[in-house]
Structure 1
Amino acid sequence: MTVVLGIETSCDETGVGLVRDGVLLGDALSSSMDEHVRFGGVVPEIAARAHVSALVPCVRAALDNARLTLDDVGAVAVTAGPGLATALHVGVGAAKAYAQALGVPLYAVHHLAGHAAADTLAHGELPPRSVVLIVSGGHTSLLLVRDLVRDPVVHLSDTVDDAAGEAFDKVARILGLPYPGGPAIDRAARAGDPTAVAFPRPLTGRNDPPLGFSFSGLKTAVARHVESAHAAGRELAVADVAASFQEAVADTLTRKAIRACREHDVSTLVVVGGVAANSRVRALAEQRCAEAGIELRVPPPRLCTDNGAMIAAVGDLLVRSGARSSATGLSVQPSIELTWAQLDPTAHEPVLA
């Protein structure tokens, strides 16, 4: 059985993981988030420099955690897109170097496929057909997934503007809460009333696309509520606004995810990505799946945010499926849509006899 080294550097987390036969052997994570706080968002050049400093120490830490050495590694998988170009180049360059030095195959992986694969590390193989809801800082999508590495992924919907995680960050800034916004709003909402403010549920009207997502208008509704309170001289109930906004997001996400499962006759919903760590999203998804008779799979919070284990998990699936390795000249693809888990067109061509 092959030990796969996974490398993730698509944004501000440097992640390294080691997976063999569906089992996470060890991982390590370094975040440059604290360096971005004063800017209110991720600065690509700062993130890239942080990856350069953290990547080799993370590889060593993951190997130590797994009680392995580089000699035990039989394949390397790396996020080649989507993400910040400068950050992706660091990971891809390192992965090429490790693969060449070790004489092992290299697999270029789609970041979002990694999020879907993260659940396999907690709950085993995905069923033959599932709906995957990916909710993160840059992506909000409903996907129909069959075999994650053998079949193309079908997009049922994608957000038309702000992703859910992006909306959390922007609303947190409006409310004077710290970056990153997701955890800050989750904490503030615990003391608030989710029914205090009747924020809209985006794209839930009769003529709206039933599975579509849009969070820009919801963010604007929060901004207008805050402006109105200030203009009237009222004290802003931050906890209530945070709870009401969070409820609107969770309600919209889970309502549409359940509908996607019913429309496509799927009995398993997988919720992944950074926003899947949100307590209200998890609780409401659990409640609605139970009511609908749908199995819910959500990775533990530490596997929801960007990490190297999820990339190693995709690499492990590719190795076990017999996929051909990616071309040594592969490059980053910062804006590539998820169609295949492996980002190398030649890898999907049939092998000639």
Structure 2
Amino acid sequence: MAVVLGIETSCDETGVGIVADGRILGAALASSMGQHARFGGVVPEIAARAHLESLVPCLRSAMEQARIEPSEIDAIAVTSGPGLATALQTGLAAAKSLALGWDRPLYGVHHLAGHVAADTLEHGPLPDRSIALIVSGGHTSLLLIDDLATDPIVHLGDTRDDAAGEAFDKVARLLGLPYPGGPSVSRAAAAGDPDAIAFPRAMLGHGYDFSFSGLKSAVARRVEQHPGLSVPDVAASFQEAVADVLTRKAVAACLEHGIDTLVIVGGVAANARLRALAAERCAASGITLRVPPPALCTDNGPMIAAVGDLLVTAGHPPATLDLSADPSAPLTKAVCS
């Protein structure tokens, strides 16, 4: 049984996790989100500086929680892409230092594979084949997953413009709601009517790709033309449109490919309406739905350690110390080198 340390610094959250045999032994998370709120989005240099300040305290906290010493760590996994360049480089430098100082193998992990692996920490190993829907601030993809550690990841569909989480942020700004937009819109929507406004459902008849830019524009036009409109109604109607498209396409992909397990991951997977609608539609179609708890939906260290654990178990060769950050790394496999 390998004990794997994972480091995640792709955006504005510093995550350190320790995983062994699919279980979290220790975890620590620090967020610089509050420092970005007044800018309405993440400022890369602020995020990188926050990672510098938080990495060592998070490492100490996770190791104390796990009650282990450096000598008990078998491997180190780190997000090497995609993400903000300076943020990735900060975590990568820390991981390389630990790998060199402790004489441990180093694994570069794809951030989005980490989101998929996060579900294994809650629900156990993935089945031989599954469909994964990744929905986050920067990514919306529908994937065919075989063995996450060894097999290629097949893209069934991706967003052609805004990611779902990005659309939430932009709509929140239009409605005067605080950053980050996902939680703000969700809170406002709780008091609204999801049927109040018939916002468009883009690309429902066009395979498994997604588009949310038009929906965002439709919200902007409605707000501009009807300044007295109920914010909760707009938020609820927008949220319903996003959840409707995401779940329709994900369930259709499962049925078309004869796969009975759908995994929904990423920051937007914490959205209560998306989870509820996915559960309803999966139950009606005989599909097993797996969604991690909200704490494992957002960026975190254990999800990166979980991929490292899978790679070590599969006998994947480690990276060399010249491993570099790849801010725009395509998702074709779990390892990012």
Normalised by the size of structure 1, how large is the TM-score?
0.95
Matched, 1:317 2:310: yes
| 3-state SS of paired residue (2:119) | helix
2:189 counterpart residue number: 189
Matched, 1:334 2:332: no
Q: 1:38-187, aligned counterparts within 5 Å?
A: 38-187=38-187
RMSD in angstroms over aligned alpha carbons?
0.6
| Structure 1 position 104, deviation (Å) | 0.6
In 2, Cα distance between equivalents of 1:71 and 1:194 = 54
| Structure 1 position 69, deviation (Å) | 2.1
2:214 counterpart residue number: 217
Q: 1:226-305, aligned counterparts within 5 Å?
A: 226-230=223-227, 235-305=228-298
Note if contact 2:7-2:77 (Cα within 8 Å) is conserved in structure 1.
Answer: yes
Note if contact 2:22-2:306 (Cα within 8 Å) is conserved in structure 1.
Answer: yes
Q: Residue deviations 1:259-300, cap 9 Å, x none? A: 111111111000000000000000000000000000000000
1:307 counterpart residue number: 300
Note if contact 2:6-2:304 (Cα within 8 Å) is conserved in structure 1.
Answer: yes
| Structure 1 position 328, deviation (Å) | 1.5
Extract unaligned runs of 5+ from structure 2: none
In 2, Cα distance between equivalents of 1:328 and 1:23 = 27
Q: Residue deviations 1:222-267, cap 9 Å, x none? A: 000000112xxxx220000000000000000000000111111111
In 1, Cα distance between equivalents of 2:163 and 2:277 = 19
Note if contact 2:157-2:207 (Cα within 8 Å) is conserved in structure 1.
Answer: no
In 2, Cα distance between equivalents of 1:71 and 1:63 = 11
| 3-state SS of paired residue (1:29) | strand
Normalised by the size of structure 2, how large is the TM-score?
0.99
In 2, Cα distance between equivalents of 1:332 and 1:57 = 23
| 3-state SS of paired residue (1:138) | coil
| Structure 1 position 67, deviation (Å) | 1.4
| Structure 1 position 335, deviation (Å) | 0.2
| Structure 1 position 175, deviation (Å) | 0.2
| 3-state SS of paired residue (1:127) | coil
| Structure 1 position 210, deviation (Å) | 2.0
| Structure 1 position 23, deviation (Å) | 0.8
User: Residue type of the partner of 2:279?
Assistant: E
1:347 counterpart residue number: none
How many aligned residue pairs are there?
Answer: 337
| Structure 1 position 204, deviation (Å) | 1.6
User: Residue type of the partner of 2:226?
Assistant: A
User: Residue type of the partner of 2:235?
Assistant: A
1:349 counterpart residue number: none
| 3-state SS of paired residue (1:77) | strand
| 3-state SS of paired residue (2:226) | helix
Extract unaligned runs of 5+ from structure 1: 345-353
2:199 counterpart residue number: 199
